[in-house]
Amino acid sequence: MWAASCLASCCAACACEACRSVVGGISRRSARIAYCGLFALSLIVSWILREVAAPLMEKLPWINHFHRTPDREWFETDAVLRVSLGNFLFFTILALLMAGIKDQKDPRDRLHHGGWMAKIVCWCVLVILMFFVPNGLVSFYETISKFGSGLFLLVQVVLLLDFVHGWNDSWVSNDEQFWYMALFIVSLVCYVAAFSFTGLLFHWFTPSGHDCGLNTFFIVLTLILVFVFAVVALHPKVNGSLLPASVISLYCTYLCYSGLSSEPRDYECNGLHGHSKAVSTGSLTLGLLTTVLSVVYSAVRAGSSTTLLSPPSSPRASSERPLLPFDKVEQQEDRKKDEAKPVSYSYSFFHLIFSLASMYSAMLLTGWSTSVGESGKLVDVGWPSVWVRIVTGWATAALYIWSLIAPILFPDREF
C-alpha cells in the first residue's frame, strides 16, 4: 500500500511537472495558438457535458428547483450554456484587461503572452463556478448570445474578406500567366458551385403544392446578389477581381442554405425534414468547424499589419538594419532596447473574437435554444437561426460591395 501511494505521488508529480514544462514553453509566437487550443477545449467540454451531464444536473437543487423536472433536453442546453458563459467571461475579462495596450513594455503584455498555468486554472474555476450561478443569469446570457452570435458572424465576414483579398493579391503579384489561369479556374469552380447549389435550394425548399414565397424570396435575392457581385467587380472604375466575388458568392449561397435548413422540421417548405438528423449533425459539424477556423485564422493573421486586428501604428515584424558603422549600430541597438516596441495587433479585439465565438458555439450546440422534438438530438433548428443566417448573408453582400465602391466614393481616404 505504501509503495502504491508513493508510486501514485511520483506519477502525479511527474504529470504536474510535465504540464508546467509544456505551459512554460509557450512563447510569444505560440501564445495565439494556445488561446485557440483553450477555445477548442471549451468546445470539447461543452459537447461532452451536453451528452453526459444531464443526470447529474437533475440532482442539483439550485438548478433543478422546479416543481416538475424539465426534460433531459433542458439540462443538456443548460450545461452547454454554463460552460459557454464561463468561457465568455474568461475572454471578456482578458479583453477588458488588455484594452489600450500600445507597446510591449506595458506590464499587461506579459500577461497576454505568459502566465499560462494561472490562466488555465482561472478558466477551470470560472467554468466550474458557472454551475453554481442561478438559472436566471444563464437565461439572460442565452438571450444576449443570440445577438452576440450575429456579431460573430459579421466578424467571420470581415475575416473572409481579408482572406480572399489577400489570396487574390498574392496570386496577382506573381504576374505570370499560370497564376492568372489559376485565378480564373478557381473563380469558375466557385461560380459553378454557387449556381448548382442555388438549383438545389429551389428543389429542397420550394416544393410544389405549397406556398413558399418567403423561401423563394431568400433564394432569388441571393441569386441576384451573385450577379451584382460580378457586375460591380468587373466595372472599369472598380479595382475588383472575380476571385473575391466568386468566393463571396459561394459563401452567401451557403449562408442561404444554412438559414433555410434551420427552418423548423414541421415547416411544410423545408424539404429536408426527412433527413433532419443527418442535416442537423452536418450543420453542427460544419458550423463548429468554421468557428474554429475563424478563430485560428484571426490568431494567425494577428501578426500582420494589414489585418483588422492590427492598429495603424503597428510595425512590420521585420525591419532592415541601417547601413552605419559597427559602433553606431551597437548604439542604435542599445537605444532600441530602451525604447518601447509597439504591439503588432490589438490584444483586446483578439480576445473579443473569442468571446463572441463562445456565444456562437453555444447557440450551435443548443440549436439556438429551440425545441429538439422527439429525437432529442436535433441542433441548430429554429426561426432565430434562420434570420441570423439570412441577415448575415445580406450584411456580407453589403460589406463586400462597400469594400469595392468605397475607394471610388472617397478617393482621398485609405481603405
Q: What is the mean pLDDT of residues 313-325?
A: 41
| Cα 201 to the center of its chain, rounded Å | 25
pLDDT computed for residue 105 by the predictor: 80
| Cα 257 to the center of its chain, rounded Å | 19
pLDDT computed for residue 246 by the predictor: 93
Give the cell for residue 308.
Answer: 483588422
282 has pLDDT over 90: no
Among 42, 66, 39, 71, residue whose Cα is nearest residue 55: 71
The CA-based dihedral angle spanning residues 351, 357, 359, 362, taken in that order and rounded to the nearest 10 degrees: -140
Q: Give the amino acid at 16.
A: C
The residue that leads in pLDDT, 404 or 24, is 404
Among 395, 396, 387, residue whose Cα is nearest residue 260: 387
22 has pLDDT over 70: no
Question: Would you place residue 197 in the very low, low, confident or very high pLDDT band (cuts 50, 70, 90)?
Answer: very high
In the block, cell 467571461 appears at: 89
Q: What is the mean pLDDT of residues 123-138?
A: 92
**Residue 390 φ/ψ, nearest 5 degrees:** -65, -45
**Residue 29 φ/ψ, nearest 5 degrees:** -70, -40
Q: How far apart are CA 251 and CA 240, in angstroms?
A: 18
139 has pLDDT over 90: no
Asked whether 93 and 82 are in contact (CB, 8 A), the reply is no
Buried-exposed string 157-170: b where 16+ CB fall within 10 A, e elsewhere: bbbbbbbbbebbee
The contacts of residue 142 (CB under 8 Å, 6+ apart) are 81, 362, 366, 369
